Chains A and B, each alone.
Chain A
Amino acid sequence: MTDEMMEEGGAPGGVVKKFLYVNRKAPYGTIYALESLEVVLISAAFEQDVSLAFLDDGVYQIVKGQDTKSVGVKNFSPTYRALEGYDVEKLYVEKESLEARGLTEEDLIVPVQVISTEEIADLMESHDVILSF
């Protein structure tokens, strides 16, 4: 994120860009999921229009009942439930990715909109900035 964008976004009446964060990786084993979540929380503080999409193994990031004791890292899944308080309420999950993993909306820790691959493409089309993790 450039300084210029931050200045524009931070001020009332400034330019608000539509950010889409695309999450494709499993929550643990790599740093991508946690890094994405942190960037989302930071950019939300700059009052940008933020949406999240979960695709492929990324859907596991928001699965209920995560237990990380045996891998020795922090279970950060409860933090997704804090997003609402940051006014990040647009969470999309790809239907095909959920189905391929035998999951349904009820298995997820936060309310989401389940949409098709085609609709995900439209979603990407409608955003100014796409950040893929």
Chain B
Amino acid sequence: MPTIEVAGKTIEVDEEGYLQNRTDWSEEIATAMAKEDDCDLTQNHWEVINFLREYYDEYQIAPAVRVLTKAIGKKLGPDKGNSKYLYELFPYGPAKQACKYAGLPKPTGCV
């Protein structure tokens, strides 16, 4: 099983880099995963990452990108609840990339 090293700890991930155990998650892990992708996490990134973690706690799934976009719009306003904004933050795909940093599984139906 693949692993990543963060702050001296070995953490199990799947073949695409998503955490095996959601409970392993920490902000340091998110930052380290982002660094791998040459992405510096800003307050705007964290807003989405934290939103996803809350969504997962409530519904036990990672939302599809359309659902995420709509829900972000509801919570953070229309200037953030649109694909342009979210793709600028997460160019590999907001659901896919942000879910990875948030320690969630890959969204259902995401190929």
Contacts from A to B (Cβ < 8 Å): 38, 41-42, 44-45, 74-76, 78-79, 81-82, 85-86
The number of residue pairs between A and B whose CB atoms lie closer than 8 Å in the complex comes to: 35
**Contact status B60-A41, CB under 8 Å:** no
Interface size class of B (residues with CB under 8 A): 10 to 19
- Which chain B residues (67-87) contact chain A, with CB distance < 8 Å? 67, 70-71
When distances are taken between beta carbons in the complex, the residues of chain B under 8 Å from A45 are: 64, 66, 109
When distances are taken between beta carbons in the complex, the residues of chain A under 8 Å from B58 are: 78, 81-82
* The one of B70, B71, B109 that contacts A41, using a Cβ cutoff of 8 Å: B109
Contacts from B to A (Cβ < 8 Å): 58-61, 63-64, 66-67, 70-71, 108-109
17 new A-B contacts at CB < 8 Å, known A76-B61, A79-B60: A38-B108, A38-B109, A41-B61, A41-B64, A41-B108, A42-B109, A44-B64, A45-B64, A45-B109, A75-B60, A76-B60, A78-B58, A78-B59, A78-B60, A82-B63, A82-B67, A85-B70
